[in-house]
Amino acid sequence: MLKNFLMRKMLQSQTKNLPKEQQDQVMMMLEKDPDLFMKIAQEVQEEMKKGKDQMAAAMAVMPKYQDKLKELMGPK
């Protein structure tokens, strides 16, 4: 439960520049599959340790999870 709270706070800070509707969609996706977001965050951190900046690391990791993320964005 604490893990989900911390992940939620981190995502809120990362999505603060997005429109409210998109922020809500990201939070809904997090609630549907928090373990997926933890896995993505860990892999992004690993890429950053290899010397990539946060954006490059995310771009390296996200295609791997594209289908799962699309599935989470689908009907509620």
pLDDT of residue 75: 67
The DSSP H or E segment spanning 75 is none
**pTM of the shown model:** 0.76
Between CA 36 and CA 24 the distance in angstroms is: 17
| Interval 36-67: pLDDT, tens | 988 998 999 999 999 999 889 999 999 999 99
DSSP type of residue 1 = -
Question: CA-CA distance, 53 to 57, in Å (whole number)?
Answer: 6
Cα–Cα distance for residue pair 57/49, rounded to 1 Å: 9
Write down the pLDDT at residue 6: 77
